[in-house]
Amino acid sequence: MVRPPHIFSIVQTLRHIFSHIGVTLLAVGIAFSLPMLAKFILFTWWPRVEDDSQLLLANEIIFAAVLVMLFNLFLSARQGRLSHRLNRLASLVHVRGEDGWLMRWHDRKLLDRITGTRDVAVMSVTGHDTFVSERRKLRGVIDHSYELRVMLMNPYGPGATRRAQSHGDPLPLLETYRRETAATIERLAALAAAGKQVSLKFYEDPPFWNLIVTGEHVWVQYCHGGQALKDQPEYVFALCRDKPAQGLFSAFYVHFLTQWSDPLHPEYDFASRELVYRNRQGNEVKRTPFRPPGVPTPRPEPLLLAG
């Protein structure tokens, strides 16, 4: 169940208020304890230590260890500040690597922030993990969106063959591409029938990036030729509202728009199951069957249309 945006805003405000109260109380407590601590060290502790060589040596060792720890903390804080500055310049807000409870918690926090996005743009290999898989993380974002623009790799094109060959045995992988793409098409058709504005295009070249644009965030994965897409880390870049040209969000979004507007990429007609080619003026020039003659129709995986 997705929390309403105003509830999320109230929770964030209360969290900031209580954190400021905690920091203020801690600072006041340290300030009032300093005179007492100094009096204890000068008049109670030091007279005991100065006449005991073993206790003095132990204090020197402890003091040196504390200094080393503080120095390392300072270097870590400095490195963290530098990393934070670089992340801000690149507009990197999240990295998803190995799965775990902490990673899933960060995913949920980010998804709560972007729920309610009106437009979603996807450039993927088959789109199966985004639209069909029961483990798809952007399920709520897609279900609450209005317009979907999707670009998939043509599983019958030469680009799919070259990508499959980079993984070793190409025939089973090609069949997987075609089956997963068929399932994605059925899912998109169901979303269109439910009232969403859905557009689907296909590209022929082997994919280089897997992109999911959700409003002001873009989810990026590198499509390595010899590895499965699910094994690649995922990076999330956000739009800098005050400096839109800063960061990598604009670069990836412009890349998607460039590919989307390229007339070489045909549009899929859900009614006739054909690829529609248009010129730069947007006029239709030809139609071809999406599945070439003689290629058996893959059986799509079962869909959960409600989720």
pLDDT of residue 2: 42
* Cβ atoms < 10 Å from Cβ of 110: 19
The answer to whether the CB of 87 falls within 8 A of the CB of 115 is: no
Highest mean predicted confidence (pLDDT) among 20-34, 63-77, 109-123: 63-77
Give pLDDT tens digits for 5-41: 445 467 667 777 887 788 788 777 776 776 777 777 7
Taking only Cα atoms into account, the Rg of the chain, rounded to an integer number of angstroms, comes to 28
* Domain at 94-289: CATH code: 3.30.870.10
Give pLDDT tens digits for 186-238: 999 999 999 999 999 999 988 888 999 998 899 999 887 666 677 788 899 98
pLDDT of residue 189: 94
Structural domain boundaries in the chain: 5-90, 94-289
pLDDT of residue 297: 60
Among 104-113, 167-176, 240-249, 264-273, name the one with the lowest average pLDDT: 104-113
The answer to whether the CB of 165 falls within 8 A of the CB of 155 is: no
pLDDT of residue 115: 65
Give pLDDT tens digits for 271-303: 999 999 999 888 889 999 998 766 666 665 544
Please report, for residues 20, 168, 266, the alpha-carbon distance to residue 262 in angstroms, rounded to integers and kept in the order given. Answer: 51, 31, 9
